[in-house]
C-alpha cells in the first residue's frame, strides 16, 4: 500500500488536514484531520510502498510503546486512513 499522492496534507492554522474534493459544487467540504501519530506516519512513509510492519516501526521508533500496542494502533490507523482514501493499494 501507499499514500495517495493526490491527497495533499495542508496546514491550516496549526491543524494538518486533507481536503476531500467532492464531485459536485454543493456548499460542502469534507476534510480529514491528521493527528500527531497519523501525521508522523504520513511524513515518514509518503512516496513509498509500505506495510503495516513499517507503520509499527515508525510508531515504536518515535514513541515509548510496546510492539503489541503499536501494532494494534498501526492497524487501526491504516484501516481508518484506507477508509478515508488516503491510503491506496
Partner 1 sequence: MVRATLTIGGIGVTFTGGATVVLAMRLPGMALFEGPASDGIVVHLDETLTVPSCSWQHTFNLDATGAKCRFGVGEDGCHYQVFGDGKVLRYDRRQPDRVACSTFDDPGLLRYVLWTAYGMAVLHRNAVPVHSSVVVCDGKAVMCLGESGTGKSTHTRLWCENIDGAFLLNDDSPIVRVEADGVYAYGSPWSGKTPCFRQERYPVAALLRIVQRPENTIERLGTIEAFTALQPSCPPALAHDEGFMDMTVGFISGVIGHVPVYRLGCLPDAAAARLSHSTIFNTRQ
Among 1, 17, 38, 40, binds partner 1 (CB under 8 A): 17
Rule CB under 8 A: is residue 36 a binding residue for partner 1?
no
Report CA-CA distances (Å) from 68 to 2, 4, 53, 59, 71: 23, 27, 11, 11, 5
CB 63 within 8 A of CB 45: no
Using the rule CB under 8 A, give the single segment among 9-17, 41-49, 69-77, 78-86 that binds partner 1.
9-17
Provide the binding-site residues for partner 1, judged by CB under 8 A. 8, 10-15, 17, 19, 21, 24-31, 33
Amino acid at each position: 500500500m501507499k499514500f495517495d499522492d493526490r491527497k495533499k496534507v495542508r496546514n491550516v492554522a496549526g491543524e494538518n488536514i486533507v481536503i476531500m474534493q467532492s464531485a459536485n459544487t454543493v456548499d460542502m467540504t469534507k476534510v480529514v484531520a491528521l493527528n500527531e501519530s497519523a501525521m508522523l506516519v504520513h511524513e515518514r512513509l509518503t512516496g513509498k510502498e509500505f506495510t503495516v510492519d513499517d507503520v509499527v516501526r515508525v510508531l515504536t521508533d518515535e514513541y515509548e510503546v510496546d510492539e503489541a500496542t503499536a501494532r494494534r494502533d498501526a492497524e487501526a490507523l491504516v484501516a481508518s486512513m484506507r477508509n478515508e482514501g488516503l491510503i491506496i493499494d
